[in-house]
Structure 1
């Protein structure tokens, strides 16, 4: 169920891209209803209404899956509080994401609100991945498997990944795919913002490569595999980004680039969680004094 929640949250990003790239952002021109008189799309709304309403329906599916995760975590015996908290975080985040999505419609696809909508999806993906990862580890206190300097390098890599995604949102807000022909753009120079975004991508690639080599040097195979996976995703995403830029942003490549952004962030969270491990909780052993103490009702020979 946790894996299904993660996949569904990534799928929501892709369907959101379809809404924007087909100019269907106002296919349902109001919220929470699709029209002033109907919660569902009507024939008068055409294909744009179908696409926008379909994206809203996927949000309902996300909520159902998240609710199933929370119920499963709550009913699990012994109950694992960390899984309950993570599943509740994902569950509560989905209605919040829906509200922000509604605000994007009510503000006629303001690019900054649309960007916040995407970033909230990234937060939900991180929480969903953490929930899925928790199913493969115990509940003891985390033990780091790499030295402190590499933990700092991991944090720096995650920070660079965050900056790449945030600046990518700004690039999107300055570009042509606004979600509707009449939607405003953020007014920034697309070429200048795209160049800054590319510079950060090169920084992220360098940090990730260094992280992979460092993990190998200290014989940390699990973090090394996670870093290598992230590096491969970044290289693929970078290639898509360059091709889409020089081919003037074809719709298919932009959609692939948004999927890639979700995978880059998922890979980043995977590296953050791979540098530590949690053992299963064990029963507390009696102290030596308790082990040799005489039971209260045991007769004592004098």
Structure 2
């Protein structure tokens, strides 16, 4: 690998490809050169950090679900301390205190990964301005999400605040998915945009973009209604935590209706991709598979009185579905090949 790097941008931008060393800014060069990979990051190096950021954001969703379903939401009864006198739990808080405190500590792991990803993207020569803005917003969103988590504790796990906490986590998951896509070093099925915007090919492509966008929007609606169901159900995060007051059966039916719409859209997107041989065939197939698995988990957990393991799996599946919906939009809109480092 040479010190010269080039890139092909998904958005057609022509970023400044010079590294800090090549621009003559040597003040931090020696420091970063001593850290493997960060001296002159390659696209594969940056991509791996982007994947780590996405995985850790999904992981924090799953561990947050574990806190909720085990009734450990107030295991540390205050914030930012665990108790009024200590940042760490004491023996009287029991296993619930350990679970809640452990989830809080995982947030710091996520922050470290976010900082490393931020540095890698900023130092990568092929990063466009929007890449830098995106990774910066993700990095800033993580401590902000921690503050919202603290507010959920201070409001005694108000179900609407808890739902906001989950939705913000999912926003970070979707944003991290965009970063992974934009930093991809391997070919993703794409095609050149037709020069004539009135051609049938362009109309077909627009249909795919609109369909992917609608799928993404309905995925978000379905996820939000899932939080409403959770807010009306038994998993409050603590035995004394309030519920949102909605009838669980009605909330569940509304969520199920949204799922049925999402299933229809997912199948429509798959048929469209297959019939017109569109680049998003694989992502559409994966999304339908994830949707089927998520539906099975949802029905089984409903008819088995919401066992802890299945509730956590369902929350994890929600994150995977959002990744799939986000990826479909990105592939549908892509018109060129991913960036590569010059050999």
TM-score (ref. length: structure 1): 0.88
1:7 counterpart residue number:
55
Query: Within 2, Cα distance between the matches of 1:58 and 1:230?
Result: 28
Residues 1:75 and 2:123 aligned together: yes
Q: Aligned-pair distance for 1:216? A: 1.3
Q: Say which of 265, 284, 297 aligns to 1:240.
A: 297
Cα deviation 1:180-228 (Å, max 9, x = unaligned) = 00000000000011011111111101111011110111111x3111011
- Contact 1:18 1:255 survives alignment (8 Å): yes
Query: Within 1, Cα distance between the matches of 2:104 and 2:154?
Result: 15
Query: Within 1, Cα distance between the matches of 2:65 and 2:338?
Result: 43
Q: Map of 1:1-302 to 2, 5 A cutoff?
A: 1-136=49-184, 143=193, 147-220=205-278, 222-277=279-334, 279=336
Query: Within 2, Cα distance between the matches of 1:126 and 1:32?
Result: 27
TM-score (ref. length: structure 2): 0.78
Structure index of larger Rg: 1
2:40 counterpart residue number:
none
Q: Aligned-pair distance for 1:79? A: 3.9
- Contact 1:73 1:80 survives alignment (8 Å): no
Query: Within 2, Cα distance between the matches of 1:77 and 1:156?
Result: 35
- Say which structure, 1 or 2, has more relative contact order (CA 8 Å, 6+ apart): 2
Higher helix share: 1
SS at match of 2:106: helix
Query: Within 2, Cα distance between the matches of 1:274 and 1:149?
Result: 13
Cα 1:185–1:143 change in 2 (3 A) is farther
Q: Aligned-pair distance for 1:19? A: 0.4
- Contact 2:76 2:93 survives alignment (8 Å): yes
Q: Aligned-pair distance for 1:280? A: 6.6
CA RMSD, 1 decimal: 1.8
- Name stretches of at least 5 consecutive residues in structure 1 with no aligned partner: 283-302
Q: Aligned-pair distance for 1:39? A: 1.2
Query: Within 2, Cα distance between the matches of 1:223 and 1:73?
Result: 26
Cα 1:280–1:229 change in 2 (3 A) is closer
- Contact 1:143 1:276 survives alignment (8 Å): no
2:3 counterpart residue number:
none
- Name stretches of at least 5 consecutive residues in structure 2 with no aligned partner: 1-48, 195-201
1:299 counterpart residue number:
none
The aligned length equals 278
Cα 1:208–1:281 change in 2 (3 A) is closer
